[in-house]
A and B are shown apart, each in its own frame.
Chain A
């Protein structure tokens, strides 16, 4: 099958490679309220903006949504040809995110290690920034990625 792109197989990644991912996304109700409640997160600050109940007076984006969104925005370039996600580490949420903020994702390859005949492990550092260029997210992630010319 040729449903996935070129340029993101294991051999394509090299230590120090730094990527600015092409698409940004403005955070909206579908993202924050949708995913927060989809995953049974009951913390009211994410879905009740009544100032009497919410010290921000607006809905604070659930950090799990921010993590998924930044990793997601990096996925076509870092894991379109992945076999599986292995781990995440040192995840830090550095600036609060609210509806209407626009997020952008960046990635750096920290190391690459051959794993077996068909795949290798790439360790990335990711950053998420908002429209004011404040870092909202930082973290590391390891992904098992196909080598070129392997079946599925």
Chain B
């Protein structure tokens, strides 16, 4: 390594994410950042996904239907809540398997700010996967008034830090 790359040998990885061993049923997470959903977010997301209900991109139509502003596409509410949970829950590696019991509990309008919280429901070993276990979380999204707007159960493969230890302790 040349002298001008010396910084690389000094650098310490700013590690992100959790592994299978880090999760315990009942453990709660308050996820980072929060996200204000803007007009641009909602219109772009809705048109990009061919989600052609004018409540999501025609303000006159949304107001005529009784909404104060355009309605945020529920699939964007789902994705934003999910997205904010990723660093704590699944960034450590492992495929996303599925979602169950997703309820859209309240309308979200452009300008609302979402935050996300999760609880570990269950962790178990997989018969076929030797490098990861399976974890299920309950994740919920809340608006700026702390009203719960969405809730869902998500299941992922989550990588073991040490496969031998993880499999013997689970």
Contact = CB atoms under 8 A, between A and B. Distances in A.
Interface string B56-68: 0010010011100
Contacts of B48: 30-31, 34-35
B87 A87 contact: no
Contacts of A92: 97-98
B99 A71 contact: no
A93 interface: yes
Interface SS, B side: mixed
A67 B78 contact: yes
A152 B83 contact: no
A101 to B, nearest CB: 15
A84 interface: yes
A84 B83 CA distance: 22
Contact of A68 (B16, B58, B75, B86): B75
A4 B83 contact: no
Interface string A45-76: 10000000000000000111101110111011
A71 B75 contact: yes
A63 B78 CA distance: 12
Nearest to B96: A63
Given A63-B96, A75-B52, A85 B74 contact: yes
A1 B61 contact: yes
Given A67-B99, A84-B107, A89-B100, A72 B58 contact: no
Nearest to A85: B74
A71 B51 contact: yes
Contacts of B30: none
B104 interface: yes
A40 to B, nearest CB: 4
Interface string A1-43: 1011000000000000000000101000011001110111111
18 contacts: A1-B64, A30-B48, A39-B80, A39-B82, A39-B83, A40-B86, A42-B86, A43-B90, A43-B91, A63-B96, A67-B75, A68-B79, A72-B75, A85-B75, A87-B104, A139-B99, A152-B65, A152-B66
